[in-house]
Every structure is written in structure tokens, then in C-alpha cells.
Amino acid sequence: MKITIQDIANAANVAKSTVSKVINDSPKISGETKRKIREIMKEMNFTPSSIATRLAKQSSFNIGLLFDMSQDKDYLDPFFYNIMVGIESVIGPLKYEMTMANVHHNDPDRHFLKRLVLSRRIDGLIGNNANLTNEAAAKLEELRFPFVLMGEYDAFPVSWVDFDNAEGGRMLTGHLLEQGYRDIAFIGGEREERLFENRHRGYSDSLRAAGLPISAERTFHGIADDSHGYESVLSMLRSAPGERPDAIVCMSNQVAFGALRAAKEAGVQIPNELGIATFDDFPFSPHTSPPLTSLLIDTFKLGSAAADMLIERISYPELPRRNLLLQPELIVRESTARA
């Protein structure tokens, strides 16, 4: 049998409004009454219905985390859990819950805007620039609904958090230069792709600062996956030994895996003949042979920073949109440890 605030009121011989005030620890209720009612609530094992509370309070105390089931998930997949835990670490203590929001871009009836936002099931939303379309973002802004993106966004001003990808490019390239590499290639990423452009800019900056030439043929465009890494390295190995790159910066771990495989098959010595450094630090990076020098991004922190920003937006809707760049961390391993 379900027990409600009214049952408690009856048992305590008070009005249910009094019980409600006790639940919310109102200062207008005497200590004695509070004690008595609280005891009764324990005894009767009462927990308020959150749904009724929310209806009355007109707030769902719930935030949504966007994902797109229909989409390729290679990139965020291994990081998803950490991001989620990062978000929980900030919203949990504030009594918010988190519900998973599958976008359903193609089904107007199940689209998250309707299912979760318009139906007021959530008070705020965290997404990323891959699963939130410009159209949806615009709609959210129009509704003045609080949301934060993970990943840079520049179609119009919204709140976002991202890692400093340009700085990451500088860190990887700078490290290779310090190790004495002089002819550094960059593998992966499509032209016009924002993520690529930022990372590549950092790479170029470093070369320029070192007074080295930046040659277009040292950049291998393509989808940042294993086979692109593999093919790119094979193609650079077709040049004579003296004319090929002595190190590479990879857009992703997948690219690096492919590059590693190609180099190994061709008998190229890593790190002596070819240094390899890569963006992203998958849990597997330490297990390649040789282990990969890579750029660690703290995904827990990505989540918690996004959540902090979202809570701020929910609490102070009129504050301007903020952006935040988190710093990556260089993890040096053997793949760049030149003798």
C-alpha cells in the first residue's frame, strides 16, 4: 500500500501542509513538531513522491545527456562512461538526476525536443557538436532552454567546453621537435573540419616557431581511422629514405594504430627512424608496441566542466554564454623516445 503525505498527517494529527513544511525544513515549524513528524515518517517508511513534488514545484530536477544511437560512435564511445561520471559528480550533490536523451533526428514524434524539452521532463541539456544539429541548437536558444555543448561551436554564441586542440597540436609537435625530429608530417582529418583545423593550426604554429618549412604534402587528409593511418604511412615510405618524414602527428589513436602497423610491416624502426605522437589517449595506448606518446584528455573533467556550466545557466539564465578551453596533457612514451 502506498503511503502519502496525508497518511502521515493523519497519524500525526496535523494538516498535510504542516507535514509538507517539515519535509522542506521550513523555519516556521517548531522543533518539537518537526521531531515528532520526522519520527512518524521514519516509522511509516515514507518517501515523498518525486513526481508530485515536481508538479507542484514546477521543476523536474533532471538534466538530459544527449546521444545519437543512429550514429557512428567510434570517437566518444570509450569516453562516454567517464564523461557521464564527471557530470554526475557535480549534479548529484545538487539533487539533480540525469536522463539519457537519444536524439531521434528523423522521427519528429520521438525527437528529444518534444520528448524531453517541450514536455518539461528535463531542466537542462548537455550535448556535443556531433549529436546536436544547428537547427536544434537554434530551437533551444529560441526557447531559452539551458544547454551546454561539449566541443567548440561557432554557428552562433552558445555555451561550450572543449579541449584546447590547437595547444594540443603545439604540444605534440613541440615535443617531437625537442626530440630532434625535423621533418614532421600530420595524418588525418578532413579539410574544413573544425577539429582538424584547430589541431593542424597548432602543428603549423610549432613548425613556424622553429623556423621550419610547412609543406602541404606533409599533411595527409582523410577520415581519421586505422586504414587512413596505414595508407598514409605506406605512401610516405615510397619516397627515398632521406626524403621522407622522420616523425608524424596523428589526428587520433586509430590513425596511430594504422600508422604503427604500416611502419612495422615495412620494417621501419620506431622511434629511431620514425617518431609517432598522437592526439587522444585511449586506454590501449600504453599497450601498443612501442607504447604511444599521446595527448591525454581528462574526460571526467570535460563532463564536470560542462555540468558546472549548465548549472550556472539554469541558475542564472541571463548570464552571457561562456566558453571554456581545457588543457590536455602530454604523455610521453617510447614511440618518440629517440635514442
Partner DNA sequence: TTGTAAGCGTTATCAT
Partner DNA sequence: ATGATAACGCTTACAA
Using alpha carbons, select from 66, 87, 80 the residue that is nearest to residue 301. Answer: 87
Site pattern 166..195 for its own copies (x: CB under 8 A):
------------------------------
Length of the chain: 339
Of 111-119, 153-161, 244-252, 319-327: span binding its own copies (CB under 8 A): 111-119
State in angstroms the smallest separation of the CB of 85 from its own copies: 5
Beta strand 275-279 pairing with 323-326: unpaired
160, 203, 257, 279: residue in contact with its own copies (rule CB under 8 A): 257
44 binds DNA (CB under 7 A): no
13 binds, among its own copies, DNA, none (CB under 5 to 8 A by kind): DNA
Check if the beta carbon of residue 223 is closer than 8 Å to that of residue 193. Answer: no
13, 30, 47, 106: residue in contact with its own copies (rule CB under 8 A): 47
40 binds DNA (CB under 7 A): no
24, 49, 134, 272: residue in contact with its own copies (rule CB under 8 A): 49
3-state percent helix, strand, coil for the chain, nearest multiple of 5: 45, 15, 40
Residues 6+ apart with CB under 8 A from 20: 5
Of 1-9, 84-92, 239-247, 282-290: span binding DNA (CB under 7 A): 1-9
Angle at 328 between CA 248 and CA 156, to 5 degrees: 100
54 binds its own copies (CB under 8 A): yes
30 binds DNA (CB under 7 A): yes
E-state strands within the chain = 62-67, 97-102, 124-128, 147-150, 159-163, 184-187, 219-220, 247-250, 275-279, 293-296, 323-326, 329-331
10, 17, 239, 327: residue in contact with DNA (rule CB under 7 A): 17
**Distance (Å, whole) CA 222 – CA 225:** 8
**Distance (Å, whole) CA 121 – CA 48:** 18
Nearer to its own copies by Cβ, of 184 and 305: the residue is 305
> Which grid cell is 203?
602543428
- The string of DSSP letters for 309-326 reads HHHHHHH-TTSPP-EEEE
Per the listing, cell 563532463 goes with 303
Report the half-sphere exposure of 323 (CA within 13 A, side-chain side): 11
Residues 6+ apart with CB under 8 A from 63: 87, 91, 96, 97, 98, 99, 122, 123, 124, 125, 126, 307, 310
Nearer to DNA by Cβ, of 47 and 106: the residue is 47
E-state strands within 4-123 = 62-67, 97-102
283 binds, among DNA, its own copies, none (CB under 5 to 8 A by kind): its own copies
State in angstroms the smallest separation of the CB of 78 from its own copies: 6
Site pattern 53..92 for DNA (x: CB under 7 A):
x-xxxx----------------------------------
24 binds its own copies (CB under 8 A): no
Site for its own copies in 261-300 (CB under 8 A): 261, 264, 282-284, 287-289
Residues found near its own copies in the complex (CB under 8 A): 45, 47-52, 54-55, 60, 62, 65, 67, 69, 73, 76-78, 80-82, 84-85, 88-89, 92, 97-100, 102, 104, 110, 114-116, 118-121, 226, 257, 260-261, 264, 282-284, 287-289
Residues found near DNA in the complex (CB under 7 A): 2, 4-6, 13-18, 20-21, 23-24, 27-30, 32-33, 46, 48-49, 52-53, 55-58
